[in-house]
Structure 1
């Protein structure tokens, strides 16, 4: 039985676990080329990972109805119940049988993998705000290392060391350790490496360790989402050795790996980045990067025109680059400015289609902005944690390091694009659309300092459940209702698992929220504590089920996808307004926690929604919320703060202030 895996889809992953010690980098071959030398091969567990289960249809229907209960009145619920009954006994039963048969024929993957890739790649909306999130790094603990050039050099080299370690099979496999004293040890690793790959997962399972799927990792590097009519494609070229650097809307490339696949010397990389930072060319009149923020069909057509205008080879250099390093000219003012800059920026200095953009601002503030179709938060957060750890604990350059005296103008190629009038018009239109859209986005954040994980665990409450309960109370206080809520959970414990949805809005959270918001004086502190305990217990059950692939969202999604693929008329269950309503996620939430993370965020998934990024730390709770004009993020956060304060009062036996 997999435990309550604290793995959210984006952007949360497993906590930082101890890794092999880092070694300082020097040019040439040798240990400095790698982050670590795992004695267990990186993909050792991949073949024996358990398969993602297809839930029983009756369980899915039961869970679906439980999630609908707090959102519907009695009449609506009875209708939805009827739709569910006829689906379960009719067409749903047939579709489920076909899904199980299909799953049995494709044992190399999971039943959700294909449909989920399709869902992302066929979406025609811009990837900006609609899909791509960001995670920002904490500053380097040594202030003098937060210089833009020093940090860009160190993070770039750490990122390339991660790439080399991954490709050499020397990266520690991603494992969730329930009992690290038993499983995260050299003696266990020496033993497990001799267990055949086809059985290795079982060996880990015996010591309460749960290896995670690593099939997405190869797409971290040399990868880009290519716009195509009706369905995009994921492109990867592992042979390419160059880095793409964006600055002030200009594109530069230089080789970061030599002909033998070794990392180019540190001083040369530093010299090349210094050369790029010293370029005083004004920003281009028509910044090409705006096109990656366009509607995907519009961008697909413009890309064809770019290729037709003689830019094919140049575009290939962009698409195949190891990754995109964005050197921004602006210093970061505060956390809200940081969120806006890393989530969307001004549109000129990101290639939003790249698997990830590593962004370093003028003052050394750094973040990863990533495209979501290729993978989820587990792979990104592992990369993120390793880069932070390596670049801060074993930095390749110091403030005293001197760049090489090499002539960087020979090594660095500045890319130029041939633009005809139609392309210039397309870029101008993309810019106008981008500017108009980002202008409508509000982001705000709070830090609640009365307590966090430590206090809540002493109260025997799930910290995540308390945070989610605060969002339910806040929305009820602000808008007087309970709405569809989405919390992402990773199913990486299974082969080709992606994500499942936790549905935090329940009959328990509704009852508890109404007691706190509408009638606190009629309940004793003990009664309120009891209601919170019920919410926590139920939330724990939902989380465990989701991590085990036992939610209802992905199963219903796969059945609907199968019906469409077979040309079957859409079953009534999916035409029920209640189905549309529960999938219109007004509260879209995701949590992340790691010593490397400063703040993370994403836009709302619906126009009248909130995008809620949050983290429950040991002694405080942070929340970063985005909204469009239909909602008020500042007011929502004030209500979250009030909800947390009320719950802490109740837990301390104090009366609730109205």
Structure 2
């Protein structure tokens, strides 16, 4: 379904004014690829890969043919990589959305005095959402500009326009991202989840928009309706927590009945979902709040009080656990941050306006969504609940606040905080495992039309040299040599970042070459079936910087069974890390990784204090790298996956 955009406000620079994503030179990408993997694989394997890559890049060979086709695609489309990337990163993925794909933003813990307080908060939050949506629809949001070394470049705004008007529809082999027309009258309602029931809250009644008191009144009605056990419906939200193929199969069964078909259509067109949660029964700390956002605690707690296909899903818990869990395919974390920071400032800085556009007596009763069930459907719900519970039990999360120092100390060393933290993550992984692995760090390419992200491969040869110097007790390198290696690692990370954000990264380019070979019905080139390429796209360390200016943090799960998900939020005097792994892997432990990370951060501080003189080649690292690179997009590599 195409999106119909309004004309931009006068004087505003929209995404179609931005340049197209470039196609990097073939030789440059192939050389960078070999450099990125040489130190991560065995020598014999590298020699084989090098031969395959050189053959692919021969003059007049397969690589040049595919490069020519890719250049033609660039000339004939607005963004040559967007469709490939969206399918590969999200829509083709078959894993369940909770933990594996959907990130969460955890709001500050709220101190609600009673149940009515939480509903007031929810009503005020919905009011803020409607105000922000109005700013999006009327194009009143200020255009974002890049920061850091390449500051001042306008960034594509299209992701903002897809915060509330999109829906991820499950498919048997590939999902579909449905995009409703901006400002559509079909989207004049939200879905409220309460006690695993779903209700329609119309935002416009008799052509009048509801004010905050009206919204609160409707929420109170919904809570009372949800308590009516005689009308209680089965917990159909559980189906959205399942694998995408399983959910698509279940949906095909559901839509055979017109009642179910209508309920699904109403949810699909909603503005957002608001989940009114009861008390979790858990000790409320950073880690437990993050878990409740990511998966709701499973079907025994709030896991069924969700609809995971909807990109914007706000959670308001009676015990003050609040946040948002997002279907990630329409937008990146930095756009989510901008939206949620606006809402947090609205919540704290704007007094609650309890006026009303209509009298309470004129407000219709919210509609409960109804479902027709059968023994077969009951079996599907039970199976979904069991699979969600296994995922809940398997997730190993540790939200950790490193308080020894923050980004201000790093800046005083004339280093990029992001590059510094990435090197620290490599040091922590090496200390735990004695090796480095393919690492993903999201890099925004929003300086281009419809730009999403590319990958910064942070496990550089220079990072390996540094972590070896810090951990090898057999070699006694001087502090001066260690400091030189730290600067080399930071320079390499900075250069990789600049390449990625300017469209010169290797992952999108290789993905495009692979996909264009399929479009022209070519046998998959050996470079993409090679063991090295497959392994290099299993991102055991998946990382993203998601900085905030208000008190909240982002989290997400690992992208491979034996991997870590690490989202970090650098603040002036502390660094906040959300680290995830799976209990089912004998290779990982979030607590052990955090301990190694702490140790490495302290050691790096001590080294900087001893040898605080930057090397002559550090000009590129002397400024902070663009902070919008922490786009919050995570790769969805799986053991069967060969793409980025």
CA distance in 2, matches of 1:546, 1:145: 48
2:401 is aligned with 1:475? no
Q: Deviations over 1:475-512 (max 9, x none)?
A: 11111111111101111111011110001111111011
Q: Residue 209 of structure 1 aligns to a residue in which SS? A: coil
Distance in 2 (alpha carbons) for counterparts of 1:70 and 1:407? 71
Q: Tell me how far apart the structure 2 counterparts of residues 502 and 322 of structure 1 sit (CA, whole Å).
A: 34
Looking at structure 2, the residues matched to 408 and 591 of structure 1 have their Cα atoms a distance apart, in angstroms, of: 48
8 Å CA contact retained: 2:191, 2:270 = yes
Give 1:579 deviation, angstroms: 0.8
Choose which of 381, 384, 399 in structure 1 pairs with 2:337. 381
After superposition, what is the alpha-carbon deviation per residue over 1:351-402, rounded to whole angstroms, capped at 9, x for unaligned?
000022111122333212111222222332222222122222114348xx99
Q: Are the equivalent residues in 1 in contact too, given 2:112–2:318 (CA < 8 A)?
A: no
1:232 aligns with 2:189: no
8 Å contact 1:41–1:170 — kept in the other structure?
Answer: no
Given that 1:43 and 1:214 are in contact with CA atoms closer than 8 Å, whether structure 2 keeps it comes out as no
Q: Secondary structure at the match of 2:360?
A: coil
1:312 alignment partner, SS class: helix
Equivalenced residue count is 586
| 2:122 is the counterpart of 1:173 | no
Selected match of 1:293 from 227, 241, 246: 241
Distance 1:519 1:611 in 2: 29
Q: CA deviation at 1:127?
A: 1.8
Find out whether 1:114 has 2:104 as its counterpart.
Answer: no
Q: Does 1:444 align with 2:391?
A: no
Alignment partner for residue 243 of structure 1, among 177, 190, 193?
190
**2:166 match:** 223
Give the counterpart of 1:153 among 117, 123, 145.
123
Structure 1, 487-496 or 273-282: larger mean CA deviation? 273-282
Distance 1:521 1:452, change over 3 A: farther
Counterpart-to-counterpart distance in 2, 1:359 and 1:158: 14
CA distance in structure 1 between the partners assigned to 2:199 and 2:178 by the alignment: 20
CA distance 1:395–1:253, shift in 2 (3 Å): farther
State the Cα RMSD in Å. 2.7
Counterpart in the other structure of 1:650 = 607
Q: C-alpha offsets along residues 73-123 of structure 1, whole Å, 9 cap, x if unaligned? A: 3322222211111111121111011010111111xx211111122222222
Report if aligned partners of 1:150, 1:397 keep a CA contact under 8 Å in 2: no
Q: Does 1:213 align with 2:167?
A: no
- The unaligned stretches of length 5 or more in structure 1 are 1-38, 180-204
Q: Distance in 2 between matches of 1:42 and 1:395?
A: 32
Q: Does 1:98 align with 2:69?
A: yes
Give unpaired runs (5+ residues) of structure 2.
1-7, 612-644
Per the alignment, do residues 145 and 540 of structure 1 end up closer, same or farther by CA in structure 2, a change over 3 Å counting? farther
Alignment CA distance shift 1:491-1:146 (3 Å): farther
Distance 2:15 2:543 in 1: 29
Looking at structure 2, the residues matched to 522 and 541 of structure 1 have their Cα atoms a distance apart, in angstroms, of 29
> For 1:213-271, what per-residue CA distance to the aligned partner results, in whole angstroms no more than 9, with x for missing partners?
122333221432111232222224432211100011010112113454x6312110111
| TM-superposed deviation, 1:405 | 7.3
- Corresponding residue for residue 311 of structure 2: 355
1:338 aligned to which of 276, 289, 306: 289
Structure 1 residue matching 2:517: 3-state secondary structure: helix
1:56 deviates by 0.7
* Alignment check: 8 A CA contact 1:483 1:505 kept: yes
Q: Which residue of 1 aligns with 2:43?
A: 74
Contact persistence 2:221–2:365 (CA under 8 A): no
Matched, 1:502 2:456: yes
Greater relative contact order structure (CA < 8 Å, 6+ sep): 1
1:372 aligns with one of 328, 342, 348? 328
Question: Which secondary structure state, in structure 1, belongs to the residue aligned with residue 204 of structure 2?
Answer: coil
Deviations, residues 406-433 of structure 1 (Å, cap 9, x unaligned): 2598331111211112111111111111
1:86 has 2:58 as partner: no
So what's the TM-score if we normalise by structure 2?
Answer: 0.86
Mapped partners of 1:144, 1:172: distance in 2: 38
Residue-by-residue CA offset, 1:425-444 (whole Å, 9 max, x unaligned): 11111111111122111101
Counterpart of 2:642?
none
Q: Distance in 1 between matches of 2:112 and 2:447?
A: 36
2:277 alignment partner in structure 1: 328
